[in-house]
C-alpha cells in the first residue's frame, strides 16, 4: 500500500463522513446507514469499529433495522473492518459477496495550480447537477440531491466550463490531512477530452490550499476506465472493500 494501515483507516472513516446517509444509528460501534435507495455507501453498515460483546447480536440488530425499512441488509467490508474476521462471519451467515471496490490515494503536491477552465462553488449549481445526475441510475438520481444537501462543510464543487457550457463535474471535502475526490462526471459528448483531468487538477489545487497531505477516492473495481484514469493521474490502490448483502 502507498499508505499505512492507520492512514487507510482514516481514509475509510473520512469516506463515511463525506457521503452521509439520511438516517444513521450506532450499533456497538458500527454505523448503520440508510438513504432509501441508491448509493451503496449510504445504505450499508460501515464496520470500522466494534465495541460490543456479540457480533451475531449486532448483525441481527442491523438486519432488524433494515427489515423495518423494507431494505436488504448490507455491510461494507474493508481491509480495516472490525472485527478482522467480519467477512467470513457474514459469509457463514449467508451473506453474498458483491460490488468489489478500490480505495485509491495519492500525495498532494505542494505546487498544484487551479486550471482556468474550472469554476469553484460551495454549493452545487443547476449546471453542475445536470452533469452529475446525467450519469446516475434512476434510484441514485432520486436520492442524490438530498445527500448532497447534507454534505459536511467546507465542501467545494468543481465545474469544467468550455465554450460556455459545463461539461465536467467533481467534488472535494477536506477532512484533516485528507481530501476526497467525489462525484466525478463528464457529459457523454465531452468524454476523453480532458475535462476529468482538469477537474482532478482543480481538486488537487484546492487540497493543497487546505494543506491536505493525501487525496483519496473510491470506485468500483469493474470500472476499469476510471481506475486507469486515476492511476495515470498518480493515484495508487491503497485498499479494497466489497459489499456483503442479505435480502
Q: In the prediction, which pLDDT does 38 show?
A: 77
Q: How far apart are CA 184 and CA 196, in angstroms?
A: 7
Specify which of 1-5, 35-39, 107-111, 125-129 reaches the highest per-range mean pLDDT: 125-129
What superfamily would CATH give domain 109-212?
Gcn5-related N-acetyltransferase (GNAT) (3.40.630.30)
**CA distances from residue 31 to 77, 88, 92, 206 in whole angstroms, order as listed:** 12, 19, 21, 29
Is a pLDDT exceeding 60 seen at residue 1? no
What local confidence, expressed as pLDDT, does residue 149 receive?
95
Q: What is the pLDDT of residues 51-86, one digit of tens each?
A: 999 999 999 999 999 999 999 999 999 999 999 999
Residue 176 φ then ψ, to 5°: 65, -125
For the chain, give every domain's residue range: 5-102, 109-212
pLDDT of res. 39: 85
Look up residue 53 and give its three cell numbers.
Answer: 460483546
The residues with which 156 forms a beta bridge, in sequence order, are: 172
pLDDT at residue 2 above 90?
no
Share of the chain above pLDDT 90, in %: 92
Predicted pLDDT of residue 119: 98
Q: Is 92 exposed, middle or buried (0-12, 13-18, 19+ CB in 10 A)?
A: exposed
Please check the confidence at residue 118 and state whether its pLDDT lies above 80: yes
Average pLDDT in the chain: 96
Amino acid at each position: 500500500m502507498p499508505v499505512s494501515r492507520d492512514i487507510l483507516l482514516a481514509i475509510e472513516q473520512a469516506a463515511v463522513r463525506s457521503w452521509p446517509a439520511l438516517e444513521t444509528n450506532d450499533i456497538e460501534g458500527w454505523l448503520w446507514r440508510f438513504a432509501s435507495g441508491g448509493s451503496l455507501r449510504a445504505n450499508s453498515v460501515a464496520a470500522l469499529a466494534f465495541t460490543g460483546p456479540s457480533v451475531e447480536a449486532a448483525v441481527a440488530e442491523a438486519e432488524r433495522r433494515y427489515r423495518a425499512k423494507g431494505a436488504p441488509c448490507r455491510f461494507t467490508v474493508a481491509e480495516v473492518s472490525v472485527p478482522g474476521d467480519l467477512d467470513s462471519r457474514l459469509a457463514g451467515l449467508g451473506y453474498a459477496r458483491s460490488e468489489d471496490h478500490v480505495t485509491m490515494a495519492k500525495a498532494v503536491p505542494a505546487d498544484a495550480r487551479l486550471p482556468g477552465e474550472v469554476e469553484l462553488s460551495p454549493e452545487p449549481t443547476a449546471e453542475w447537477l445536470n452533469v452529475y445526475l446525467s450519469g446516475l441510475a434512476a434510484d441514485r438520481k432520486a436520492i442524490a440531491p438530498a445527500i448532497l444537501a447534507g454534505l459536511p462543510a467546507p465542501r467545494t464543487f468543481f465545474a469544467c466550463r468550455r465554450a460556455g457550457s459545463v461539461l465536467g463535474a467533481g467534488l472535494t471535502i477536506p477532512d484533516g490531512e485528507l481530501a476526497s475526490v467525489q462525484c466525478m462526471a463528464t457529459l457523454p459528448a465531452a468524454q476523453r477530452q480532458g475535462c476529468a483531468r482538469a477537474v482532478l487538477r482543480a481538486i488537487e489545487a484546492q487540497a493543497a490550499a487546505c494543506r491536505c497531505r493525501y487525496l483519496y477516492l473510491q470506485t468500483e473495481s469493474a470500472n476499469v476506465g476510471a481506475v486507469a484514469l486515476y492511476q495515470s493521474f498518480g493515484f495508487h490502490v491503497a485498499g479494497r472493500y466489497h459489499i456483503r448483502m442479505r435480502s
